[in-house]
A and B are shown apart, each in its own frame.
Chain A
Amino acid sequence: GQSLEQPSEVTAVEGAIVQINCTYQTSGFYGLSWYQQHDGGAPTFLSYNGLDGLEETGRFSSFLSRSDSYGYLLLQELQMKDSASYFCAVKAASGSARQLTFGSGTQLTVLP
């Protein structure tokens, strides 16, 4: 099976930079994704890393190190609207299936 670990809570102030780490254990690893979920809403896709390195999308960046089974999501120039839960998710093969398994989520609170 798969297991993922990420911090349960992170707090930062507007304009700051925050990094949310994710470590995973899995077999048949394909890639690491990040999703954002606001309270009462649905998860929405932020980024995907299939190869080692940094992917940048606006204020958000995501990093993967396959050899370390580690990734992170970097949020820059934090805004109040970034307060949400952030999930790392591993895409891995299980037989003929490629499943996406989610971590338990990190609740980010952005303070004014």
Chain B
Amino acid sequence: DAGVIQSPRHEVTEMGQEVTLRCKPISGHNSLFWYRQTMMRGLELLIYFNNNVPIDDSGMPEDRFSAKMPNASFSTLKIQPSEPRDSAVYFCASSSSGGGSPLHFGNGTRLTVT
């Protein structure tokens, strides 16, 4: 089991540029989550997919953020245009169905917007 795979591990970009973060969930998991972690705000849920369908995107901070899950093995989180306040570690996590099913996190993408 390769675990949840995120790319890139690090991204440094200039304000105004488009950023795309990628995630491959664990095979067989039907739920996928995007979280953002900062010192000030902790771990925030941005969006949650179940069976490739977005269930709750109320955590997406603004229209500059969008997420897609075109199939069960791939998801993207896009920020356009990026701003310095978007600098954070972005985690993707997946889980199987079931109340107690744990989230398996990827190693995260550390985004720095200058």
A residues adjacent to B (C-beta < 8 A): 30-31, 33, 35, 41-45, 48, 50, 87, 91, 94-105
Contacts and interface: CB of A to CB of B under 8 A. Distances in A.
Interface in B1-45: 33, 35, 42-43, 45
Which size class do B's interface residues fall under? 20 to 34
Nearest to B53: A96
B42 A42 contact: no
Contacts, number: 50
Given A31-B99, A48-B102, A42 B91 contact: yes
Given A87-B43, A102-B42, A45 B108 contact: no
Interface in B56-114: 56, 91, 93, 99-100, 102-108
A100 B103 contact: yes
A105 B99 contact: no
Contacts of B100: 31, 33, 48, 50
